[in-house]
Structure 1
Amino acid sequence: MEPTKKSSLKLTNHGRAEDGSLVASRVDSEDSRIAPTQWKIASHNASEHGSGLLESFIPRRKFPFPKSLYAVEDTLRFYVADKKEAIVLDFFSGSGTTAHAVMRLNRQDGGRRQCISITNNEVAADEQAALHKAGLRPGDVDWEKWGICDYITKPRIAAAITGKTPEGKDIEGTYNFTDKFLMAEGFKENAEFFTLTYETPVTVSHNRAFERIAPLLWMRAGSEGRRIETIPALGWEVADTYGLLTDLDRSTAFCDAVDAKGTIRIAYIVTDDDRRFQAVARHLPGTVEPVRLYESYLTNFRFSMGR
């Protein structure tokens, strides 16, 4: 057997942080922002700045092994420090530390970064036993309120923004390290919470589920500005970053409105006729992405059902 070659790591020393830890970056990589494998920094202590911090925001609510807020903040800084419009996807959001860290980064440099936090609403195993004994089942209101999303994630994010606990009391404590200020000050941020549901293909194809999918259209267009909440009475409507056409006989007026707006990114077109869809798409500005609404959903449904 050949001897194992030891890997080397070259770092540039940038001095020391307030807590005495060494600040360094890699120099043997195309991207010098890549962090070394291990960080031993006081601010990354998960007991104090994970569990302890969570207790301040949502008192008496327990979550196993939350990450240090500052550790996640430092990690994100490596990749989005110069991307003030970044969208951060946290697919297993747990206690919501990543969204919280994004808020801190935005406060430090005036960024408009967004965080999409996704989690299930699983109830812990020991709590499930007690709930079953009480005659409750998944889906019951008194069951779901103990799930991770409703009991931990959403209340923590709301508390971070408002500076108040779920009980309405000012959060005690001070943020430290990179940016020091009272936790009770909160953040100039906003958040909206959605619950994933299943919609039948018949309901979708007959345009009877629009109000439930409306937030998704808004999110795909950047989660900015006004949202189109209901099917437009005129057959089309244009918001700040996207437009919706439901009556193809009104396509000329729709395309003119999209062109005049100048800020539209996506045009959602409801039709089951590909030729008419293409005809409308050709009349849209080149900077606007035409999307045939519901097609992807229905196609994916047929694929998953083996049809």
Structure 2
Amino acid sequence: MNYLPDGAYAAVMSERFVVKGFAEDGSIIAEGRRDTRRIAPSQWRIPAHNASEYGTALLRSILPKRTFPFPKSLYAVEDALRFFVQDRPNAIILDFFAGSGTTAHAVMRLNRPDGGRRQCISVTNNVVAAEEQTALRRASLRPGDTDWEKWGICDHITKPRIGAAITGKTPEGKEIEGDYKFTDEFPMAEGFQENAEFFTLTYESYVAVGANFAFQRIAPLLWMRAGSEGRRIDDLPEGGWALADTYGLLVDLDRAGAFCDAVAAKGGLRVAYVVTDDDRRFQAVARALPDGVEPVRLYESYLSNFRFSMGR
């Protein structure tokens, strides 16, 4: 017979554990509580964290015939995030090495039970595996070609996985087989009440940006900078300024008065983007904006970087 030391016995009898009953020999049957207020242990031995079954096999159910080396267990990532964002329904999670997209998938699962609006920003390259590169080069393809890029990690794995998780259907249009397990059990084919948008990072020339020829390509960045919520301003406003749900855009400084009045009347805006290379006029607009609205001089860093790189 084994006996618990006093410290372990006290822990079992504390609020950290739930007593489920007693065995025939009178010993206690207890189960540890999930408590996000505690510090996560450095080592977990939990069946749901098995990467083979709930990483590789789960990904194979979502993306049949597509492979990714060593994807993490969906539930291990979910448990790790839960320690930090369970009580923060509007948290923003940045995954700078997105890989197969497990973190974005886990955020969806966290949002489902409590109706949270947590966001995940997933960043990844579109590198093609070495063995696939060999075959593609033999076919006279090179990076940048459409038939090359479609085999990259982002286009072949990350984006399709996130899309399939939301819709509940594989990229081929078939319902995903199997169920989610553990804390929130339901068929994977149900999908999630989520949305996703994908952007490709490119380099835009100084001339195009400074002359407002590239606005449509940077418009998503302004929307993301302001919180990634609500309507987005995708085109330069004909009237010289425009307001979305969380930000405003001023491109004609002769309309600054009307813009600032509209920002004050609308209320709730977080950011006001002002397109100008004149610091004095920018400061004048910034002073006229309501308290709580952050003024951002658009293209300032781009112009400064250009002058620096050109030695000006």
Fold match, TM over 0.5? yes
| Structure 1 letter corresponding to 2:243 | V
User: How far has the Cα of 1:298 moved from its partner?
Assistant: 2.5
Equivalence for 1:23: 32
Could you tell me whether the CA contact under 8 Å between 1:25 and 1:32 is conserved in 2?
Answer: no
Equivalence for 1:14: 17
Could you tell me whether the CA contact under 8 Å between 1:266 and 1:289 is conserved in 2?
Answer: yes
Q: CA-to-partner distance for each residue in 1:58-87, whole Å, 9 max, x for gaps?
A: 101000000000000000000001110000
Of 281, 284, 289, which aligns to 2:289?
Answer: 284
**Any idea what SS the aligned residue of 2:296 has?**
strand
Equivalence for 2:3: none
Could you tell me whether the CA contact under 8 Å between 1:245 and 1:268 is conserved in 2?
Answer: yes
Matches within 5 A, 1:162-241: 162-241=167-246
| Structure 2 letter corresponding to 1:23 | G
For structure 2, the residue ranges without an aligned partner over 5 or more in a row are 1-9, 21-28
Counterparts in 2 of 1:167 and 1:25: CA distance versus 1, 3 Å: closer
Equivalence for 1:250: 255
User: How far has the Cα of 1:23 moved from its partner?
Assistant: 3.2
**Any idea what SS the aligned residue of 2:176 has?**
coil
User: How far has the Cα of 1:33 moved from its partner?
Assistant: 2.6
Equivalence for 2:23: none
Could you tell me whether the CA contact under 8 Å between 2:17 and 2:30 is conserved in 1?
Answer: no
Of 40, 49, 61, which aligns to 2:54?
Answer: 49
TM-score after normalising by structure 2: 0.89
| Structure 2 letter corresponding to 1:14 | F
Equivalence for 1:62: 67
**Any idea what SS the aligned residue of 1:61 has?**
coil
Could you tell me whether the CA contact under 8 Å between 2:98 and 2:123 is conserved in 1?
Answer: yes
Determine the C-alpha separation between the residues in 2 that align with 1:50 and 1:305. Answer: 48
Matches within 5 A, 1:66-145: 66-145=71-150
For structure 1, the residue ranges without an aligned partner over 5 or more in a row are 1-9
CA-atom RMSD in angstroms: 2.2
Determine the C-alpha separation between the residues in 2 that align with 1:58 and 1:305. Answer: 47
**Any idea what SS the aligned residue of 1:292 has?**
strand
User: How far has the Cα of 1:34 moved from its partner?
Assistant: 1.7
| Structure 2 letter corresponding to 1:117 | S
Counterparts in 2 of 1:304 and 1:38: CA distance versus 1, 3 Å: farther
Q: CA-to-partner distance for each residue in 1:130-157, whole Å, 9 max, x for gaps?
A: 0001000000000000000000000000
Identity %: 73
Could you tell me whether the CA contact under 8 Å between 2:104 and 2:122 is conserved in 1?
Answer: yes
